[in-house]
Amino acid sequence: MKTIENNKLVAEFMGFAYCEKYRFEGWYKNSEFNNRICGFEGLKYHSSWDWLMLVVEKIETLGFEVRIEGISCKINKVLDRDNLIVSWVCGDKSNKIGLVYTAVIKFIEWHNTKK
């Protein structure tokens, strides 16, 4: 269940909107609901590098660096004199996508408190 909640958090960060109207239920790229991405549980940020790397790229456009190395994923502010580390996750390198996904979730939770 936590994965569904986390994927919802990521989808909203990516600017997607959810619509529950009759046969139009699902995640959409814009508020006009003409570009459906998937159904409620169809988000794949936790299991697809294709989905997850789009989030990493968006984080980088916000002025952060995402470093994926060995058994860790670190997200920090680029050119910050204090070297602010926003998210740093270490773990099993056999589940690298899980490391990056967890770091992304922590980043988004932090980012949402700064709005």
Could you tell me the two tokens for 38? Answer: 């998937």
Summarize pLDDT for 55-77 with one digit per residue, the tens. 999 999 999 999 999 899 999 98
Domain ranges of the chain: 2-113
Cβ neighbors of 71 (< 8 A, separation 6 or more) are 90, 91, 92, 93, 99
What is the C-alpha separation between 40 and 46, in angstroms, rounded? Answer: 14
What is the C-alpha separation between 8 and 26, in angstroms, rounded? Answer: 11
Does the predicted TM-score (pTM) go above 0.75?
yes
- pLDDT for 40 equals 63
